[in-house]
Amino acid sequence: MKVAVLGLGIMGQGVARTLLRDGFDVTVWNRSSEKAAPFADEGATVAESPAAAVADADVILSIVFDADSVIDVLDAAEGHVPDGAVWVQSSTIGLEGTGRVVETAAKHGIPLIEAMMLGTKTPAETGKLVMLAAGEKALIEKAQPVLDSMGQKTVVAGPTVGNGTALKLAANAWIATITAGTAQSLAVTKALGLDPDLFLQAIDGGASDSPYAHQKGANMIKGDYPASFALDGLRKDVGLIADASRANGVDTTLIDALGKVYAAASDKGHGDDDISSVYTGFGD
């Protein structure tokens, strides 16, 4: 099966390598060509344009930053998507952005589903993401071998493109909350004169424990934030969550507060660092 991967950020790189390892015929494209070049040595075909990347593909993955970027690659690929191919939109772009992408795909006659990726760098590199799919059943089934390579399971959120996005926003609200909550508890522990690791020891194995708290908390305690999920990426998602919540009658007190603390960390220069750097938004 031939797969085109459009976009080679942290997640796109991990997914492309997973697909190569699993034996797929992979073509990659990235707006910045220097990120794509190394994949030639790893067995992928490097395309110079989205049109060239999709020309022979059975499944096309768009893993770019925002809705405008997805629309740009859809426009660039117009007329070059093979008959029978399916376009899998995997970028977190919010409900309004997804609506615009659906309209663009329909205008170009491109069969579209979505498969949001729940997970970060390591799950992308090891095929352990959770895929949140939505769209026409037959199209999801066509793309399923690719989704099975990318993820440990696929949750079908519904028959309409946008259902997967809705579920991803809910999931990322949880990720934003537990990451910032861990940071707050560690900051309070330290400020009150204790070793911050005592907080992680206190919750370990209890009903309130979370593996994520230990993973991200270890980064916070060390003050080392290698990017697995860039802070500005989650900050963008927090804004999308707030927009969707306001539009649908959900109180935004908590998500707005999260937006402020992630913004504070970004303003301190941590936008490209891991989301665990939100710890710095609490004053460290």
Beta pairing partners, 25: 2
Measured torsion, CA atoms of residues 140, 154, 92, 120, in degrees rounded to the nearest 10: -140
Q: Which of 126, 160, 194 is the last residue of a domain?
A: 160
Name every residue whose Cβ is closer than 8 Å to that of residue 117 and which is 6 or more positions away in sequence: 11, 15, 63, 90, 124, 129, 130, 131, 132, 150, 151
Identity at 93, one-letter amino acid code: I
Clarify whether residues 75 and 99 are in a common domain.
yes
Helix axes 231-247, 94-108, angle to 10 degrees: 90
Estimate the crossing angle of helix 231-247 against helix 253-265, to 10 degrees.
Answer: 160
Q: What is the DSSP string of 84-129?
A: T-EEEE-S--HHHHHHHHHHHHHHHT--EEEEEEES-HHHHHHT-E
My answer on whether 99 and 230 are in the same domain is no
148 by Cβ neighbours in 10 Å (0-12 / 13-18 / 19+) ranks as: middle
Confidence tier at 257 by pLDDT (50, 70, 90): very high
Number of helical H runs and strand E runs in the chain: 12, 8
Co-location of 179 and 228 in the same domain: yes
Q: Which domain holds residue 52?
A: 2-160
Is 72's pLDDT higher than 90? Answer: yes
**pLDDT value, residue 208:** 96
Q: Is the pLDDT of residue 12 over 70?
A: yes
Using a pLDDT cut of 90, give the percent of the chain over it. 99
What is the number of structural domains in the chain?
Answer: 2
pLDDT for residue 274: 97
DSSP string for residues in 160-215: STTHHHHHHHHHHHHHHHHHHHHHHHHHHHHHTTS-THHHHHHHTTSTT--HHHHH
Q: What pLDDT, in 10s, does the model give residues 135-177?
A: 999 999 999 999 999 999 999 999 999 999 999 999 999 999 9
Residues 8, 74 within the same domain: yes
Say yes or no: 88 and 11 in one domain: yes
Q: Are residues 156 and 243 in the same domain?
A: no
Name the 3-class secondary structure at 132: strand
Both 140 and 236 in a single domain? no
pTM: 0.95
Q: Where a domain ends, among 160, 188, 221? A: 160
Predicted confidence at residue 121, as pLDDT, reads 95
Together in a domain, 127 and 173: no
**Phi and psi (nearest 5°) for 33?**
-65, -25
| Mean pLDDT over each residue of the chain, to the nearest integer | 97
| pLDDT at position 284 | 64
For range 181-196, the mean pLDDT: 98
Pair 41, 17: CB distance under 8 Å: no
Q: Where residue 132 sits, what CATH number does that domain have?
A: 3.40.50.720
Q: Quick one: 123 and 183 in the same domain?
A: no
165: Cα separation from own chain's centroid:
11
Q: What is the pLDDT of residue 225?
A: 98
Domain boundary (102, 126, 160) is at 160
217 and 145 co-located in one domain: no
Alpha-carbon gap, residue 197 to 1, rounded angstroms: 47
Q: Are both 93 and 188 inside the same structural domain?
A: no
Q: What is the CATH number of the domain that holds 222?
A: 1.10.1040.10
Query: How far is it, in rounded angstroms, from Cα 83 to Cα 104?
Result: 17
Are 96 and 226 contained in the same domain? Answer: no
